[in-house]
Amino acid sequence: MPSIRSALALPLAAVTVVLAIPPASAAETASASASETASASASETASASASETASASASETASASVEEARLDRAAPQEILRRSGFDSLAPEFADALAGAGCFAAAERTVGRYGAALWRRAVDRAQGRGDAGGDLSRDDDRPLYWARLALTRELRAWHPGFTVTDESRARLIDRLERSSRGQDSIRYPAGKGVKRILLTGFDPFTLDRDTRISNPSGATALALDGTWLRTSDGTLARVETAVFPVRWQDFADGTVERTLRPHLPEVDLFTTVSQGRPGRFDIERTNGAWRGGFPDNENLSRTETVPVADPAAQPQWTSTTLPYAAITKAPTGRFPVYDNTPVTELPAGADTPVVRPGGPTPGSVARAGGGGNYLSNEIAYRATLLRDRLGLTRLPGGHVHTPVLEFGPGNTDPATGTVTDAEFVRNRLDIIAQVRAILAVAAGSH
């Protein structure tokens, strides 16, 4: 696959034109030149050893996060190699090595993060070289390449001082830009509906590093695309992907991403992988974290931490048109209106499952979508909707089927990273989410 620095020609009329990394600004070029002039011998040494520096920094696993440490396993390396995304980390390390000041490094990080997102979207939507034989619908190259870049950034040691706070700022910028969180743009004018969809990274990777998340694959496949809704209106879809990490959610990444856009959209849906063989429209979301370990192997068991906790409700509800969605022929998987929750009834301390939803005064222990981050993103998004006074805005959570490998490819130790059934299942899930969006956006 071409270098992430190379330009791509994308003659697609209905989709925003996407380009590779823009050239460095004049300020960056001047900064780099000044650095070289000030110390010619140091510059020559850095230039001569840029590739060695990239390799060495990647090997400094002592500073790597738990997620990043999984990169060296066989499946992630194969996924990166078979998609052409294995070249990105060395390129990024070289670019960082050439940054003569923090501002230049910050611009480099922003360019590479945005270009990584665009490249993943382009690959998923059939633009440019696939870079290898891994199917284009695969979300995993984006996930593992992002981790390769954050690992380089974490291990980077420039010739100027970078505080822990400054490095965290750079990592945050790389995370946001490579997830599409800061590139959500809708066309101006009337007569077009606007849809916002979010997906997730793969998770439970210590169980199987081959895992893909169909919600993340859907986000890549649909970002910047158009669809015709069930009422005949044209709709634009914009997407973003979120990490499977408790702390990021506590830090407000969902609200920071969604708040600017909810007032301008006609429908939003958070999407995640749910139960085998079925879609679920989750009716109710609960304000409880159940403690299942995240991708950093950290656990949180507590009330969902939000701003203004004194006014925090125990439950929020979907405003998606679940009746219309469940009745429509959207694809091969059945779609359910999922209503059960787990609660502590008012005055009680023993959890009870309520098939029809929560009872008055109860305390949440699990929403319809459980008590992990899929429930939490649904809770946060719908709470934000309500706090913004957008109570009539259709929005909620869709759980996709579990993405399964084909028969005989279920052992992580001996199985392959992909197979025909795996790809078919993912493509069918993506297509059905798109059909669900068309029904939902055309039913209000």
SS3 368: coil
| Selection from 146, 39, 153, 141 nearest residue 97 by Cα | 153
Look at the chain and count its residues. Answer: 444
Q: pLDDT (tens digit, 9 = 90+) per residue, 86-109?
A: 999 999 999 999 999 999 999 999
Give the per-residue pLDDT at 13.
Answer: 29
Q: Over 60: is that where the pLDDT of 57 sits?
A: no
Q: Over 70: is that where the pLDDT of 82 sits?
A: yes
Q: Over 70: is that where the pLDDT of 27 sits?
A: no
| pLDDT confidence band for 157 (50 / 70 / 90) | very high
Give the per-residue pLDDT at 89.
Answer: 98
Please, which contacts does 411-419 make with residues 24 or more away whose CB atoms are closer than 8 Å?
412/75, 412/207, 412/208, 412/209, 412/210, 415/210, 417/75, 417/78, 417/79, 417/82, 417/134, 417/210, 418/134, 418/135, 418/138, 418/210
Give the per-residue pLDDT at 15.
Answer: 31
Euclidean distance between CA atoms 93 and 54, whole angstroms: 5
Q: Over 60: is that where the pLDDT of 300 sits?
A: yes
Q: What is the mean pLDDT of residues 215-222?
A: 98
The model carries a pTM of 0.87
| Selection from 30, 140, 131, 159 nearest residue 79 by Cα | 140
Q: Over 60: is that where the pLDDT of 313 sits?
A: yes
Euclidean distance between CA atoms 135 and 314, whole angstroms: 42
